Chain A
Amino acid sequence: MDSWSIPINPVPLTFEQAEAMAQRQIKKHHVAIMLLHWFNAIVWLLELATGAALISSPHFRIAPVWYIAIVQGFFGSRAHMLWFHIALGITWIVVFTVYGTFGFRTYLAREVLEREIALDWDDLVWLRVRLLRILGRSNEPLPPQGIYNAGQKLFALLVYAMIPIIMLTGLVMAFHLVSTSLVAWAVVLHFVAVGLVASGLMIHVYMGAVFPEEKPAFFSMITGTVNELYAYRHHFKWWKDVKMQEREWKQEMEGGGGNATPEDRSPAAVEGPELADDVALPRRGLGGVLHQAFRMPEYWPPYVAGVGLGLTLLAAFILMGEGLGASGGFTRYLVAFISWVAPTYVARNPYWNEYAQPGQSPLISFLVFELIGVAVGGFVSGWLAHRLRITVDKGPRVSARGRYALALLGGVLTGYGARLARGCTSGLALSGGAVLAAGAWAFMMAVFAAGFIGAYFVRRYWI
């Protein structure tokens, strides 16, 4: 391909073009990065090998006993093996610290992270299409990728997030820092963080060493270069950047003259649609992703929101010893109101006086304050995404008045049902479901059964 015409989007290549491109090499990795990569690979291999053998508790042992015996035998004793694991880990921390300190601008500066690990809109589409293609459910073309594809970026994000945790927890465990309970927490965190990286590592190693299409990526970690055809096909946006830079450099060498007219030097002169179109595309880089995630009116993909919700629920169990809820909180508001109007009635009613202990307001409770947080959190989320509006959320064939009446009827049934079951969709189905309460699962199935059956009878109000 003539280096003077750089397409904005990938175009089919002629055989000659492809042949020529396959011969040309582009530099991808600096030698310092390649050294770090292989150093890191060796450390991971040895740390995983010894780490797996160090886990002796029968609850968590992941390696078979004979494996532990072999590794332990190799080191002579468990103490020696532990010493090796710690010494290598500290070496690893020191090397990374040196790289991070002296190479901060090369490896950790904002622009580098935006280019190498921040997912942009194309990347999110790429992840979806890639997954569907693996499952054989789609033939869509993959969107063009930067120097690293979205899968590599996702793995990098995981690694960047987990490495500090692994290092810190490792140090806490090795030197028994602060307190025994902190060490105990460090053990579980260390294990989870390593487990997450190791699961990504399996894909990383498979892609690099086995997957035929990605062979050039593997060799680029040895030679530092990839051929242009591979760059064009797999990392088009990066290829384009390299070509643009090359052209600028060439033009400068030719003193701005040569065949190129002055307009040719601006990026807008590249072949195909005007580059000005770029403005209309979603913003790139870290800011673009955050913008897309928090400010755009689309809802989050259900599995992403679900992980967020699940972690919040887990945090509730860890911190408060119970899950999230809703109807219990409303009950407390009601009890507070009724005991203000008719305290003796509440005192005589066994269902209500459970919530109104003498000397303690029914409002000083987890769910009561949690509900205030829910309102604020929901409002902030909607406000960020420009979703705030006053509207009647209803089906197309029902009047606003009709919708209000139905909402009231539905609310009465929901409220009565929730208190009869001692919990609602949040407090019983979600929180009880997570701790495998039998009643919670029965309740959940009943909710869905009634919902699916009832849907038929009220279909004209919704669709």
Chain B
Amino acid sequence: MSAPFFPQFSQTTYLAVSLLLGFFFGFFLERAGFSSAKKLTAQFYFKDFSVLKVMFTAIVVAMLGIAYLAAAGRLDMSQVYVPLTFLWPQIAGGLLLGAGFIIGGY
């Protein structure tokens, strides 16, 4: 049985796993200080690069794990959702989100 495991989950397990993953997601975000708008925006004033450090550490850790498990045949990449690329909408969306981020703080 190779990952991802969700096809084997019952609906209850599926939702419980979702809650649990969310719990850790929220926990680590708060631990990193991402609940503070001032801390988040400080990076855009070159004062505190926690956001970049946390985000890129997380991406690298997850990426290494995924690459390793996929190469070992334990993670079926055809079952993994990879966001589709729509270049211009995503650049425009990113610009809007970035502007909203620095104005709104989150």
Which residues of A come within 8 Å of B, CB atoms? Answer: 59-60, 179, 181, 184-185, 187-188, 191-192, 299-300, 302-303, 305-324, 364-382, 385, 387, 393-395, 403, 406-440, 442-452, 454-455, 458-459, 461-463
Contacts and interface: CB of A to CB of B under 8 A. Distances in A.
Interface in B1-54: 1-6, 11, 14-15, 17-33, 35-39, 41-45, 47, 49-50, 53-54
Interface residues of B, number: 86
Contact of A439 (B5, B21, B85): B85
Most buried by B among A374, A377, A433, A444: A377
A310 B23 contact: no
A430 B4 contact: no
Most buried by B among A375, A426, A438, A454: A454
Interface residues of chain B: helix, strand, loop or mixed (majority): helix
A421 to B, nearest CB: 3
Interface of B: 1-6, 11, 14-15, 17-33, 35-39, 41-45, 47, 49-50, 53-63, 65-66, 68-69, 71-75, 79-87, 89-106
Contacts of A313: 58-59, 61-62
Given A394-B38, A414-B104, A181 B2 contact: yes
B98 A446 contact: yes
Most buried by B among A192, A378, A442: A378
B80 A321 contact: yes
Nearest to B44: A455
Nearest to A181: B1
Contact of B2 (A184, A371, A446): A184
Contact of B38 (A187, A379, A393, A451): A393
B3 A319 contact: yes
Given A302-B53, A420-B92, 10 more contacts: A309-B28, A310-B58, A317-B66, A318-B69, A319-B5, A378-B27, A378-B30, A437-B82, A437-B84, A454-B98
Nearest to B98: A450
A191 B89 CA distance: 42
5 contacts: A302-B32, A320-B4, A369-B22, A373-B18, A373-B23
A406 B41 CA distance: 13
